[in-house]
Amino acid sequence: MDSVTPRLGILASRVRYEEKSIMAALERRGAEFEYLDPRSLSVVGAAPREAPSFVFNREIGHFRAYYAASALESAGVTVLNTAAATRVTGDKWHTSAALLGAGLPTPATALAMTPDAALKALEEIGYPAVIKPLVGSWGRLVTRVTDRAMASAVLEYVAALPSPQSHVVYLQELVPKADRDIRVVVVGGTAIGAMHRRGAEWRTNVARGAVSEHCPLSRSHAELAVSAAAAVGADIAGVDLIEDEEGRVTVLEVNGQVEFRGFQEAEGSRVDVGDSIAALLIARAAA
């Protein structure tokens, strides 16, 4: 047994298909790891000697994932993805800002500090547009607005939400696209595969019933996905690309806690995501 592998911890409050496949791959490779439940985690001072010195963060809740990573890093633990990457990928505006800062193509986006300002910003972006919560996933509460009257009604609800953060409104142009998008999975700076997500609904989230299909990974898509993951600082990411009616490809989202059940089913034996991630973890833990 490699003497460095026991230093690896896996942090997750919910063990799903993804965590199970990564843990199984680690076991197949003979790597020891410690399962850590963030619900019983507190960090005081430096990490004790017997604690894992390298933690793979798979916590499903964004805020707990970010603060756990930050606290562990402050205690001297190496965390993957880093706390900084988790902060960026868990927040749609931070992600957009990182993509724009790196000069990568992404849909026209605005951040309005109040619902009233959002209504004005929508006049610039034009309709149809999309209002998205800054934090959240699986397409929840992502709302397509087709005209000012609809936007005004939606923003009235937004204004009534209790959280101050909810009143900062993220807006994006709705890119006319085919009924599918492209999900590229990036592990350690390499695009390991791609799939189409096709759905009858305009939100092509697997969580909303979109169907996953294998997609040959083109060099340009691979390069764009790797650049997007690098822009947000993520070692492991699921990058969503969309192609508009003129064939221009833009980066829609970068997911730092990538779910890959549908991806793995679409890829079949072409790629083993759990094993690719396990290999990266073993290499990084030994570094």
Partner 1 sequence: MQKITYAAECPECASAVTIEAEVRVSEIIECTDCRSELEIVSTEPPELALAPEVEDDWGE
By the criterion CB under 8 A, which residues form the site for partner 1? 12-16, 19-20, 23, 35, 37, 60-63, 90, 133, 135-138, 140, 207, 238, 255-259
Q: How far is the CB of 93 from partner 1 (least distance, A)?
A: 15
Nearer to partner 1, 122 or 186 (CB): 186
Q: Report the half-sphere exposure of 204 (CA within 13 A, side-chain side).
A: 23
Nearer to partner 1, 91 or 125 (CB): 91
Instruction: Return the structure tokens found at 152.
Output: 């005004």
Nearer to partner 1, 121 or 264 (CB): 264
Q: How far is the CB of 42 from partner 1 (least distance, A)?
A: 18
CB 48: neighbour CB atoms within 10 A? 8
Instruction: Return the structure tokens found at 118.
Output: 């959002």
Nearer to partner 1, 181 or 259 (CB): 259
Nearer to partner 1, 207 or 283 (CB): 207
Closest CA to 233 of 56, 58, 62, 87: 87
Degrees to nearest 5, angle at CA 36 with 35 and 40: 145
Q: Looking up tokens 């868990």, which residue turns up?
A: 90
In 103-189 the beta strands, taken as DSSP E runs, fall at: 109-112, 129-132, 143-145, 169-173, 180-187
Instruction: Tell me how long the chain is.
Output: 287
Q: How far is the CB of 140 from partner 1 (least distance, A)?
A: 8
Q: How far is the CB of 246 from partner 1 (least distance, A)?
A: 28
Distances (CA, A) of 271 to 16, 80, 135: 19, 21, 30
Q: How far is the CB of 257 from partner 1 (least distance, A)?
A: 5
Nearer to partner 1, 65 or 154 (CB): 65
Nearer to partner 1, 59 or 173 (CB): 59
Burial class (CB in 10 A: 0-12, 13-18, 19+), 25: buried
Q: How far is the CB of 159 from partner 1 (least distance, A)?
A: 17
Q: How far is the CB of 122 from partner 1 (least distance, A)?
A: 23
Closest CA to 108 of 170, 167, 155, 58: 170
